[in-house]
Structure 1
């Protein structure tokens, strides 16, 4: 089991959280992009190998939404990559 670091409750078991999905890029203006780009933004979920920025809801705890980086190869919580993000 993963231990997710809640800023209010400390490290907690992943069973207390609900996965909110990967952090997506900002929503584009549907009127300013092509139908293909808009459809891709709505339907394509990134699934890369390595560190991924994710949202988790501490549903069985304090109710906070967290953003963490998790390595999809090992499920370890990691530091944000140093790529300017």
Structure 2
């Protein structure tokens, strides 16, 4: 499987480490209630199909990426820098 790193181009999967769902980029505010933090920490979807995941390009440029991937086919449809996603 190739992952399209925005900085390095298409690279082999073995250069990356998956770190879970990209929803972790959108943390609740510090003053958010316990319910919001509980949902953020413990209630995650486990989709069968298209998803957005955090991947670290540790053996390459060291960038954090949001990778769009289908969990059924493992087809990667895109990737962008996580810092761009977090600011959106």
Give the C-alpha shift of residue 48 in structure 1: 0.8
How many residues are aligned here? 79
CA shift in 2, pair 1:36/1:16, >3 Å: same
More helix by share: 2
The CA distance in 1 between the partners of 2:39 and 2:66, in whole Å, is 23
Normalization by structure 2: what TM-score?
Answer: 0.72
The CA distance in 1 between the partners of 2:66 and 2:37, in whole Å, is 25
The CA distance in 2 between the partners of 1:49 and 1:69, in whole Å, is 13
Give the C-alpha shift of residue 77 in structure 1: 0.6
The equivalent residue for 1:27 is 27
Taking CA–CA contacts closer than 8 Å with sequence separation of 6 or more, which of the two structures ends up with the larger relative contact order? 2
Aligned-residue Cα RMSD (Å) equals 2.3
